[in-house]
Amino acid sequence: MRFTFSKREAIDFMTEVVNDFNTSQDRYFVELDTSGPDVISAAFVRGNPRT
């Protein structure tokens, strides 16, 4: 699962949360995407919101 997060002042905290989650289990993997909302919007426009 990709978790998109762009609030710069909290990226370190969210990175730790995601790492703790990923370490705690092996069924799911969360990827923290900090590229920002513009990248997401562009992906939807291209018709490929999963990248």
pTM of the model: 0.66
User: What residues contact 51, with CB distance under 8 A and at least 6 apart?
Assistant: 43
b/e per residue 9-41 (b: at least 16 CB within 10 A): eeeeeeeeebeeeeeeeeeeeeebeeeeeeebe
Total domains, the chain: 1
Distance CA 22, CA 7 (A): 21
Per-residue model confidence (pLDDT) at position 36: 64
27 part of a folded domain = yes
34 part of a folded domain = yes
Per-residue model confidence (pLDDT) at position 29: 95
Is residue 16 within 8 A of residue 44, CB to CB? The reply is no
14 part of a folded domain = yes
50 part of a folded domain = no
Strands 31-33 and 2-4 come out as parallel
9 part of a folded domain = yes
Per-residue model confidence (pLDDT) at position 48: 67
51 part of a folded domain = no
12 part of a folded domain = yes
6 part of a folded domain = yes
- Domain containing 21 equals 2-45
Q: Tens digit of pLDDT for each residue in 5-51?
A: 778 898 899 999 999 999 999 999 999 888 766 656 666 666 766 65
